[in-house]
Amino acid sequence: MGTLRVTVDRDACCGSGNCVLTAPDVFDQDDADGLVLLLRPEPPPEATDRVRRAVGLCPAAAIHLT
């Protein structure tokens, strides 16, 4: 299995914060606008399940995995 790569679409983000609550080591929220900030585009293997959960919880479908 290859390395998990995460991208975010800040234009689609609605600022719900589900990603930050689920994987705070990978995602954060911008203090200025509340939108997602990607901290780790290639998260460690131990974060894979949490990142996949964050994708599923995102109401705006703003997180993408490759």
CATH classification at residue 52: 3.30.70.20
Residue % of the chain over a pLDDT of 70: 97
The pLDDT, as a whole number, for residue 2 is 66
Count of domains observed in the chain: 1
Residue 19 inside a domain? The answer is yes
Residue 1 inside a domain? The answer is no
Residue 33 inside a domain? The answer is yes
Q: Under DSSP, is residue 7 helix (H, G, I), strand (E, B) or coil? A: strand
Q: Give the global pTM.
A: 0.93
Name the stretches of the chain with pLDDT < 70: 1-2
Domain that holds residue 41: 6-65
35 in Cβ contact with 15 (< 8 Å): yes
Residue 61 inside a domain? The answer is yes
Question: What amino acid is encoded at 17 in this protein?
Answer: G
Alpha helices (H) along the chain: 18-22, 48-57
For 32-45, the pLDDT digits (tens) are 999 999 999 999 99
The pLDDT, as a whole number, for residue 1 is 52
Question: Cα(46)–Cα(34) distance, rounded to whole angstroms?
Answer: 26
DSSP label of 33: T
